Amino acid sequence: MARAPKVDIEQVRARVEKKIKRADELPLNLAMTIYGRPKVGKTRFCATAPEPLIIDCDERGTDSTRDDTNPSVARITTWSEMNDIYWYLQSGEHPYRTVAIDTISGLQTLCMNFVLGDELARDASRDPDMPTRQAYGKVSQLMRTNITNFRNLEMNVIFTAHTRTRSTGEDEEDESVITGPNLSPAIYTHLLGAVGLIGYLMKREVFIRNPSTKKRRKVARTRLLIGPSERFETGVRYSALSGFDHIDAPDFQNMLETIKNGKGGMSG
């Protein structure tokens, strides 16, 4: 019977203690999921983050930002392009402090196209429009790894998503519906557990008064729901934001400063 190798406990102790830090000594990089209906301002919210790189997953949502914030954008149409961007960012040799995947729903489609293409190459008799259980499993594995890898980058990360309404409850008496990101169940669960904030972005109409004419006009304003909700999948683990049910006209930089300093110019 082979003997277990002898452990030099002093070397082990030195390695472990080198890794232990106080929480406030660790770099503060926000990870969040922002979802909502099309054209509510998800991409424009991403552009409010510090030095953002927005990865447009074949959605063309970044057209809305070209005339004002004009952020850096990488448009991708294949899964392999996403891997290239990850290794580029992981190298640290770039000017960006935030990466936004816009949208993770679109990325899931690119991943499925990649997996179906691989399956078709191995079996030409397969229908490319009918994913197998194995295909869904492979997409789930690839997407979960991708989400974790991007979340672990030493930078802020935003995952945007479209919406999907799901039924919950074990039987008809307990059944209810909740709106969350439009993803397959395993990816959905993994994404929500990987981030520190889950927010539902919406537009609402408000009346504002012109101080000179005293006339009121109707305008659209964005609101980010982050507090507990029975209708929407929302939540936040950053204590400085835990007292907010919602944030009006959300700005990533303001949210970051609030978390860093416990105060900021937000309304909610």
Confidence of residue 179 (pLDDT cuts 50, 70, 90): very high
54-85 tens-digit pLDDT: 999 987 766 666 666 788 999 999 999 999 99
What pLDDT does 210 receive? Answer: 66
The mean per-residue pLDDT over the stretch 252-256 comes to: 93
- For the chain, which domains are there? 27-198 (3.40.50)
Q: What is the mean pLDDT of residues 147-160?
A: 96
pLDDT in tens, 33-44: 999 999 899 999
pLDDT band at 261 (very low <50, low <70, confident <90, very high): confident
Could you tell me the pTM of the whole model?
Answer: 0.80
**SS3 per residue for the chain:** CCCCCCCCHHHHHHHHHHHCCCHHHCCCCCEEEEECCCCCCHHHHHCCCCCEEEEEECCCHHHHHCCCCCCEEEEECCHHHHHHHHHHHHCCCCCCCEEEEECHHHHHHHHHHHHHHHHHHHCCCCCCCCCCHHHHHHHHHHHHHHHHHHHCCCCEEEEEECEEEEEECCCCCCCEEEEEECCCHHHHHHHHHHCCEEEEEEEEEEEEECCCCCCEEEEEEEEEECCCCCCECCEECCHHHCCCCEEECCCHHHHHHHHHHCCCCCEC
pLDDT band at 180 (very low <50, low <70, confident <90, very high): very high
